[in-house]
């Protein structure tokens, strides 16, 4: 059941724009508009659940598989030195959107990224270019 006040439900429904890199029956993945590093992607279930505690098993499993596929594509497209999956629950964990999501976060040695990174708007053109590369890599990894 979508939550009418939830920004990610609106993205899932196509009511507000997002730069998507993947979609399937249960999940979508789109570029974070405040990328902590280039190639930062969010994986979300289509169904609304505020956090990990509330996630139905099928959607949780689907998000894990999508996160793996996106991480592989990010590794191929962005060639980072590492990738973190980050998933926040509650204000102490810096959760700012109450619709479950997994951050696929490219990492570089010396980037000095801390868990509660601040939100800084990214350049839309650069984010779109990164998305194009990740989409191409998703297609390539679909083939293998």
Residue 7: name its binding partner from ligand 5GP, Zn ion, none (Cβ under 5 to 8 Å by kind).
Answer: ligand 5GP
Non-local (6+) Cβ contacts of 91 within 8 A are none
Nearest distance, CB of residue 101 and ligand 5GP, angstroms:
6
Q: Of 84 and 95, which CB lies nearer to ligand 5GP in the complex structure?
A: 95
CA atoms within 13 A on the CB side of 39: 25
Nearest distance, CB of residue 119 and Zn ion, angstroms:
18
Question: Edge-to-edge strands of the sheet including 27-31?
Answer: 20-23, 27-31, 41-45, 102-107, 82-86
The site for ligand 5GP (CB under 6 A) is made up of 7, 18, 30-34, 42, 88, 94-97, 119
- The reply to whether 3 sits near Zn ion by the rule CB under 5 A is yes
């Amino acid at each position: 059941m979508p939550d009418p006040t939830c920004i990610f439900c609106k993205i899932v429904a196509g009511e507000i724009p997002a730069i998507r890199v993947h979609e399937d029956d249960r999940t979508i993945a789109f570029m974070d508009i405040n990328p902590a590093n280039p190639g930062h992607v969010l994986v979300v279930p289509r169904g609304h659940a505020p956090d990990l505690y509330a996630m139905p098993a099928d959607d949780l499993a689907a998000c894990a598989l999508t996160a793996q596929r996106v991480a592989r594509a990010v590794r191929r497209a962005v060639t980072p030195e590492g990738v973190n999956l980050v998933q926040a629950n509650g204000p102490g964990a810096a959760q700012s959107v109450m619709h479950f999501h997994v951050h696929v976060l490219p990492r570089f040695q010396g980037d000095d990224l801390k868990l509660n990174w601040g939100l800084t708007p990214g350049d839309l053109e650069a984010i779109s270019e990164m998305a194009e590369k990740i989409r191409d890599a998703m297609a390539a990894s679909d083939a293998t």
